[in-house]
Structure 1
Amino acid sequence: MPISNLALCLAGFILLALSMNRHFEVVFGGPVTAPFSLAFRVTGWVILALAATQSIQHEGTSIGLAMWVGELGVAAMLVALLLTYGSRRLVISAGALALLAALML
């Protein structure tokens, strides 16, 4: 359960990072267009909300939200490290994490 939530949080944060022009340029080499930026941003927030909902359903409100916030912190740090040291691998990581999360749901 926490692994699938962590995978969802990572995928959400990766999409939120890719919605920003400077991170998109580092990964893909060009500027992000407005429709892609909006799509990445909306999808990232929906995935993070899905992770929160899943955590609350499995653990209850208080413990679920606490676990979700902890997973958000770990996911944010991992995305920051990926952007710093392996920016080209970011897209591959997002796809693999989305597949892992889908398999574990």
Structure 2
Amino acid sequence: MEKSATLNLRINPTLKSEAETVLSRLGIPMSTAVDMFLNQVVLVGGIPFSVTLPKAPADIDASQMTDAALHAKLQKGYDDYRAGRTENAAEAFKKFRETHR
């Protein structure tokens, strides 16, 4: 099939770079990956994967907790804060990203 249409997209530069790294390791150019995705959209008549919100574990999902359980979690967090058992959020996320690549 002739390729003559142009698709211009604005995406997060970090996401683009990370995707290019993965695709490069697979030997697939970005344009081919986008082509593959669009072919699958046509073949399945929609997005070719499930689009859902992640399910939070019950022990951290406030909507699943009783008032007493939620209060206990909040109290523990407050007690940890008062005792200095905390970490800067930016640093914690940085460590998480480095560990889970």
Which one has more relative contact order, counting CA pairs under 8 Å at least 6 apart? 1
The structure where helix makes up a greater share of residues is 1
Larger Rg, first or second structure (1 or 2): 2
TM-score range, shorter chain: under 0.3
Taking structure 1 as the reference length, what is the TM-score of the superposition? Answer: 0.26
Taking structure 2 as the reference length, what is the TM-score of the superposition? Answer: 0.27
